[in-house]
Structure 1
């Protein structure tokens, strides 16, 4: 018997291009954890430039900023999620969890294939 698996990924698009998905959700979670875009990017194994570009895209294309950035000084810069960013991330994670639960139900249906 072959192994069957149903996978889903939740992406939000704006103007026909990807805006928010699993990678950006992880980046925001790591910004909360580390308080820094630099440290979050290192934890993801992502270049600092790519992480910075993702944060700028969220802040510029979103209806409100997601992250407040403070440029470095002696101890370096910092980053924190805005209230909007926190709420958006929680709602996205809830939606993603519900979609994964539906996919699990789909796997149960596929058992008969």
Structure 2
């Protein structure tokens, strides 16, 4: 069994596996465009998700450097890293509980 988690933030924003995957891909690729390519997502879609995350968090999850001759780039802020860590912690706890319940006596 695989668990999928969505966090509902106090702001009303929601964070699920897609936004977390995008943040992780940005951290790996060093750019929003590179992350979008890695995930098979359009750049405008990725940019919009980053903006939605920033609004939901009330602070930037990603810092962006403008493009140009040397190219742009993007890195996660402390808030972006903290969001990933929190999400993965909740996800792992839910997964452990699901596995525990799956193996409980009387199941199956």
Larger radius of gyration: 1
Residues in 2 aligned to 1:43 and 1:81: alpha-carbon distance in whole angstroms: 17
Superposed, 1:1-113 pairs within 5 Å as 6-14=1-9, 19-109=14-104, 112-113=107-108
TM-score w.r.t. length of structure 2: 0.87
Query: Where does structure 1 differ by over 6 angstroms across 4 or more consecutive aligned residues?
Result: none
Please give the per-residue CA displacement for 1:45-96, whole angstroms capped at 9, x wherever unaligned: 1111111100000112213211111110113211111111111211111111
Q: Which runs of 5+ in 1 are unaligned?
A: 1-5
- How far residue 37 of structure 1 moved from its aligned partner, in angstroms, is 0.4
TM-score w.r.t. length of structure 1: 0.84
Q: Which runs of 5+ in 2 are unaligned?
A: none
What is the number of residues matched between the two proteins?
Answer: 108
